[in-house]
Amino acid sequence: MVLADFSVNSGAVFSEAIGNDRLDLLTDYPFTRLANLLAPITPRANVAPILLTVGEPQHTPPAIIEETLRASAAGWNRYPPVGGTPEFRAAAGDWLTRRYDLPAGLLHADSSVLPLSGTREALFMLALLAVPTRKAGRQPAVLMPNPFYAPYEGAAVMAGAEPVFLSATRETGFLPDLDALTPELLERTALFYLCTPANPQGAAAAPAYLAKAIGLARQYGFVLAVDECYAEIWLDAPPAGALQVAAGLPQADGKPWANLLVFHSLSKRSSAAGLRSGFVAGDPALIGRFSRLRSYGCAGMPLPIMAASTALWRDEAHVEENRAAYRAKFAAAEAELGGRYGYSRPAGGFFLWLEVGNGEEAAKRLWAEGAIRVLPGAYLSRSNPGEPNPGDAFIRVALVQDTDTVAQACASIVRILG
Ligand X SMILES: Cc1ncc(COP(=O)(O)O)c(C=O)c1O
Residues that bind ligand X (CB under 6 A): 55, 118-120, 123, 149, 195, 199, 227, 229, 265, 267, 273, 278
Nearer to ligand X by Cβ, of 119 and 405: the residue is: 119
Nearer to ligand X by Cβ, of 264 and 329: the residue is: 264
Q: Phi-psi bin for 264: left (phi > 0), alpha (psi -120 to 50), beta? A: beta
d(CA 245, CA 345): 24
Nearer to ligand X by Cβ, of 142 and 371: the residue is: 142
What minimum distance in Å lies between the beta carbon of 256 and ligand X?
A: 24
Nearer to ligand X by Cβ, of 189 and 271: the residue is: 271
What minimum distance in Å lies between the beta carbon of 221 and ligand X?
A: 25
The set of residues, in sequence order, having a beta carbon less than 8 Å from that of 275 and lying 6+ positions away, is 61, 65, 266, 267, 305, 308, 309
Strand ranges in 41-198 using DSSP code E only, listed in sequence order: 50-51, 113-116, 141-146, 162-167, 189-195
What minimum distance in Å lies between the beta carbon of 149 and ligand X?
A: 4
161 and 127 Cβ atoms separated by less than 8 Å: yes
| Beta pairing partners, 398 | 351
What minimum distance in Å lies between the beta carbon of 263 and ligand X?
A: 7
361 and 392 Cβ atoms separated by less than 8 Å: no
Nearer to ligand X by Cβ, of 195 and 363: the residue is: 195
Nearer to ligand X by Cβ, of 125 and 216: the residue is: 125
What minimum distance in Å lies between the beta carbon of 63 and ligand X?
A: 20
Of 369, 417, 368, nearest in space to 393 by CA: 417
Q: How far from the centroid of its chain's Cα atoms is residue 148's Cα?
A: 8
| Beta pairing partners, 172 | none
Nearer to ligand X by Cβ, of 220 and 330: the residue is: 330
What minimum distance in Å lies between the beta carbon of 55 and ligand X?
A: 4
d(CA 304, CA 71): 8
Nearer to ligand X by Cβ, of 309 and 412: the residue is: 309
d(CA 87, CA 65): 16
Give 273's Cβ-side CA count (13 Å radius): 10
What minimum distance in Å lies between the beta carbon of 120 and ligand X?
A: 3
Nearer to ligand X by Cβ, of 61 and 370: the residue is: 61
114 and 291 Cβ atoms separated by less than 8 Å: yes
Strand ranges in 38-181 using DSSP code E only, listed in sequence order: 50-51, 113-116, 141-146, 162-167
What minimum distance in Å lies between the beta carbon of 357 and ligand X?
A: 25
The set of residues, in sequence order, having a beta carbon less than 8 Å from that of 86 and lying 6+ positions away, is 110
d(CA 345, CA 257): 32
Nearer to ligand X by Cβ, of 270 and 408: the residue is: 270
d(CA 211, CA 243): 10
242 and 210 Cβ atoms separated by less than 8 Å: yes
What minimum distance in Å lies between the beta carbon of 173 and ligand X?
A: 17
Q: Phi-psi bin for 339: left (phi > 0), alpha (psi -120 to 50), beta? A: left
